[in-house]
Structure 1
């Protein structure tokens, strides 16, 4: 098992956290939704695994490349 960092691809705000620590996710399943320029952008699991931790809160502002979650794959 390896820890996988989930990073943002854009700058924006964390609008909604969809998955909680302990959740089992399949590859491409949503972890959270960001808002940028009035658009909703999903952040998805890069591979199947269990969410170990969520490193942001709803309302946080993040930049491109910010680690927002960790998955044990």
Structure 2
């Protein structure tokens, strides 16, 4: 099963807590997006392994952009 972590809103990536190959659990904090001076945490949707991280700190993202892949 493959799950995508999607951006819940447009903003800038300020912190990434994921590394490719790392084991993660549902509801772990994956990364933080800043929008309008507010930081919003984004959580892992399922247990699994980080297959891909598609963003880096400082990147701007739009709502529904794929941020990472969990398998």
TM-score by length of 2: 0.94
**Which runs of 5 or more structure 1 residues have no equivalent in the other structure?**
none
Q: Answer yes or no: is 1:46 the counterpart of 2:40.
A: no
Q: Per-residue deviation at 1:43?
A: 1.0
- Runs of 4 or more off by more than 4 Å in structure 1? none
Alignment match, 1:12:
11
Number of residues paired by the alignment?
71
- RMSD over aligned CA atoms reads 0.7
User: What is the alpha-carbon distance in structure 2 between the residues aligned to residue 24 and residue 35 of structure 1?
Assistant: 25
Cα drift, residue 53 of structure 1: 0.7
Give unmatched runs, 5+ long, in structure 2.
none
Deviations 1:10-65 (A, max 9, x none): 00000011111111111010111111111111111111111111000110000100
Equivalent-residue separation in structure 2 for 1:39 and 1:20 (angstroms): 24
Give, in whole Å, the separation in 2 of the partners of 1:4 and 1:38: 29
- C-alpha separation between the residues in 2 aligned to 1:38 and 1:68? 20
Q: For structure 1, which segment, 30-39 or 61-70, has the greater mean C-alpha deviation from structure 2 after superposition?
A: 30-39
Which residue pairs with 2:55 in the alignment?
56
